[in-house]
Amino acid sequence: MRIFKGIAASEGLAKGKALVHHQASMVAEKQHILADGIAGELEKFRTALSTAKRTLEEHNVRDITKESKEILETHLMMLQDPEYIQQIEAYISTNLVCAQWAVDSVTTDMVALLEKTEDALLRERAVDFRDVSLYLIDAIKGKGSHRMENLDEDVILVADVLMPSELFAMDKTHVLGISLDGGGRASHVAILVRAFNIPTVLATGGASKTVKDGDEVIVDGTYGEVFVRPDLMVSQMLDERFELWQQYEVELHQMADLPSVTTDGHPVQLKANIQTSSEVDGIKALGACGIGLFRSEFLFMESLEHPSEQRQFEVYKQVVESMAPNPVTIRTIDIGGDKVVSGLGIDEKNPILGWRAVRFCLSRKDIFTIQLRALLRASVYGKLQIMFPMISGVEELNAVLHLLEHVKEECRTEHIPFDPNVKVGTMIEVPSAALCADILAKKVDFFSIGTNDLIQYTIAVDRGNEKIAYLYQPFHPGVLRSIKMIVEMAHQNNIPVSLCGEMASDPLCSVLLAGLGMDELSMGSQSLLQVRKILRSVSFEEAKQLADHVLGMDSYLTITTYIREWMHDRFDHITTI
């Protein structure tokens, strides 16, 4: 028996015979051509474009979920992107190579920008760019051999790489579970397997190299484990685990419509972090009382061209309308650093401390003002809030507020309706902003603490550097004291404060954050129900006592140990910490 640990991407338990799938089509064949062969290769490419579009459109007319539909539409948009098409055609003509090699080369250059980042969310988007090239390469080759459209028995699919295109095309009635060697929860593949309700484990490392066709495999998409050739004892244990999981799921979902309040009546609003409009229906079903962070930069990643004002407006409007009357906080473009977007000329030796987020926006007002106009236009359709990232001091805040007022005046002149009372806030993720929180609080309507960067900058540790990853500690006394100070400064100036970093998604942190005085926690949707259950099980007085106690401790090791024991004593039956 072999056990592979990975990322739990889609909950559930599945048992069956393995079907091993290795992705071979990703490698294009390189062939040089003569000058008189250019026209023929261009024609091959254009024919492949039409074929690939037709394949996507065929999938798009089926009875599919909203999330699946949006992924297909994104891929269709990429296939119609004039810049992408022009680059491939120019590559064929300039380098005298065949069409499939040109497609692969141009796409590889685009993907390289994303794969160099430390942000797992962005790295996973590279898979989707590759998927579009796969449609094209297969259409050029005329093979499509990697498709699994006709399966005559139930299987557990064990693969090294799986593309969204393959998920759409495969016979999903016979795929009971999926194990992938790579991937992450933010990828389109992960979104799709959840939409298709297929238990899935990602990032198993090398299961596909060990498993053979016909092997018995159990996929546990709840705990993130794959069992190959399990013995009888393990099979019985997993059957019991499945029954407990079902009971717990029922218990959690019963809380979707309940308020997030402590046992003594203190409210802590629970909101969701999203990056695409396709996630809205799911978070509403889980009882999120709003969106605390909409990462607008993902709009800039789905195409080689910058999204137009109209495109941005339509997306913002859709999200705001869908969530009304609950609020939607949209963060303005947060690119640079570990978020690389093609075509913007951001390539620095030290990007984490460089030209990023609001610094980029203030120097590229042509891009920034378009986004502000789109946001203001969408503000009349619900409760939209605008949030600026990586503000380091009052000078930057004054600059963006001044620009926002200028755009408002433009809208008034052009008789474009917008909410004149739209709320504006800033993220607190730079130590200088934390130390000046009392000054910044007088100029905005709310704070949102971005702990991912606040931890990184406070401790001076690159969170993408494996050599010093152990130093990246949310429970570092300096981090907790900063959070406490920010909350106090916000409340003294009568504005609410939210926390939207990964700490909010960690059940281990939930009681502590409530005790530190957080008004809101914004998190990944997978954590909403569990955090709500935890907060409804403790009193605010207990939470404050916990926070006060750990604030007096002198090391992250002591604090982490104490919080783990405190939480295990009370929540061992519902937390996996």
- Specify the residue for token string 């295990």: 568
Are 458 and 479 in contact by the 8 Å Cβ rule? The answer is: yes
Q: 2 pairs with which residues across the strands?
A: 228
Separation CA 519–CA 134 (nearest Å) = 46
Measured over the CA atoms of residue 555, residue 561, residue 567 and residue 569, the dihedral's sign is: negative
What's 433's DSSP letter?
Answer: H
Q: Provide DSSP, 28-94.
A: PPP-B--GGGHHHHHHHHHHHHHHHHHHHHHHHTSS--HHHHHHHHHHHHHHT-HHHHHHHHHHHHH
- Catalytic, out of 289, 436, 500, 509: 500
Three-state DSSP state, 533: helix
Secondary element (H or E) of residue 271: strand 269-274
Angle between helices 66-79 and 38-60 (to 10 degrees): 170
DSSP strand pairing (383-388 vs 423-428): parallel
* Phi (first) and psi of residue 285, to 5 degrees: -65, -25
Q: Is 188 a catalytic residue?
A: yes
**How many CA atoms lie within 13 Å of 573's alpha carbon, on the beta-carbon side?**
9
Query: Two tokens at 300?
Result: 């800039």
Separation CA 242–CA 220 (nearest Å) = 9
Q: b vs e for 424-443, b when ≥16 Cβ sit within 10 Å of the residue's Cβ?
A: bbbbbbbbebbebbeebbee
Distances (CA, A) of 349 to 112, 396, 407: 16, 23, 34
- Catalytic, out of 21, 75, 146, 188: 188
Query: Two tokens at 258?
Result: 């309940």
- Specify the residue for token string 């393959």: 166
Q: Is 361 a catalytic residue?
A: no
**How many CA atoms lie within 13 Å of 383's alpha carbon, on the beta-carbon side?**
10
Q: Which residues are catalytic?
A: 188, 500
